[in-house]
Structure 1
Amino acid sequence: MQTIASISGHRPTVSVALAAYNGAEYIAGQLQSLLKQTQVPDEIVISDDSPDDRTWAAVKPFLTHPQVVYLRNNNPPGIAGNFANALQHCRGEYIFLCDQDDVWLSGKVERLAGELASSPELDGVFCNSLLVNSNLQPLKTTLFEVRKFTSQAQKQLLNAGALELFLKRVPLSGHNTAFKRRWLEKLLPFPELAPFYPDTWIALTIAAAGKWKALNEIHTHYRVHQNNQSSPRSAQWTAAGKARKNQAPLRNALLAEEILQRNPENIAPPAQAQLQQFIEHHSIRSKYAPMRLIRSWQIFREYCSGRYDLYSNGIKSAIADCIWY
Structure 2
Amino acid sequence: MKISVAMAYYNGGTYIEEQMDSILSQLGNQDEVIVSVDGASDGSEPILLNMEKKDCRIQVIKGPGKGVVKNFENAIRHCTGDIIYLSDQDDIWKPDKVKKVNAAFDNLEVKAILHDAEIIDENGKATGAESLFALRKSKPGILKNLIKNSYVGCCMAFRKELIPVICPIPKEMYMHDYWIGTAAEYMGQVCFLKDKLIGYRRHSSNVTQMTHGSIDFMVKKRIDIIRCLGLLKKRVREIG
Corresponding residue of 1:99: 88
Deviates more, 1:38-47 or 1:221-230: 38-47
Cα pair 1:170 1:203 within 8 Å, conserved: no
Structure 1 unaligned segments of length 5 or more: list them: 1-11, 268-325
Larger RCO (CA within 8 A; separation ≥ 6): 2
Corresponding residue of 1:259: 232
Structure 1 stretches (4+) deviating beyond 6 angstroms?
Answer: none
Corresponding residue of 1:281: none
Correspondence 1:147 to 2:136: yes
What are the within-5 Å matches in structure 2 for residues 6-25 of structure 1? 12-25=1-14
Correspondence 1:171 to 2:150: yes
Compute the displacement of 1:38 (Å).
6.7
Corresponding residue of 1:48: 37
Counterpart of 2:179 in 1: which secondary structure?
A: helix
Cα pair 1:19 1:82 within 8 Å, conserved: yes
Query: Percent identity between the aligned chains?
Result: 24
Corresponding residue of 2:165: 186
1:133-164 Cα deviation digits (max 9, x unpaired): 11112122210011023xxx5xxx5xxxx334
| Structure 1: distance between partners of 2:222 and 2:143 | 17
The AA in structure 1 aligned to 2:118 is L
| Structure 2: distance between partners of 1:136 and 1:258 | 40
Correspondence 1:29 to 2:18: yes
What are the within-5 Å matches in structure 2 for residues 286-325 of structure 1? none
Correspondence 1:61 to 2:50: yes
The TM-score, its normalising length taken from structure 2, stands at 0.91
Q: Give the RMSD, CA atoms, in angstroms.
A: 2.1
Correspondence 1:225 to 2:200: no
More helix by share: 1
The AA in structure 2 aligned to 1:221 is G
Correspondence 1:72 to 2:62: yes
| Structure 2: distance between partners of 1:213 and 1:102 | 22
Q: 1:249 to 1:123 in 2, by over 3 A?
A: closer
| Structure 1: distance between partners of 2:44 and 2:108 | 38
Structure 2 unaligned segments of length 5 or more: list them: none
Which one has the largest radius of gyration? 1
Cα pair 2:146 2:222 within 8 Å, conserved: no
What are the within-5 Å matches in structure 2 for residues 271-282 of structure 1? none
Cα pair 1:13 1:92 within 8 Å, conserved: yes
| Structure 2: distance between partners of 1:88 and 1:266 | 17
User: Which among 103, 118, 123 is matched to residue 130 of structure 1?
Assistant: 118
Compute the displacement of 1:46 (Å).
0.2
Counterpart of 1:139 in 2: which secondary structure?
A: coil
The TM-score, its normalising length taken from structure 1, stands at 0.68
Cα pair 2:37 2:61 within 8 Å, conserved: yes
More strand by share: 2
1:168-189 Cα deviation digits (max 9, x unpaired): 3321300011011011000101
Correspondence 1:243 to 2:204: no
Aligned length: 238
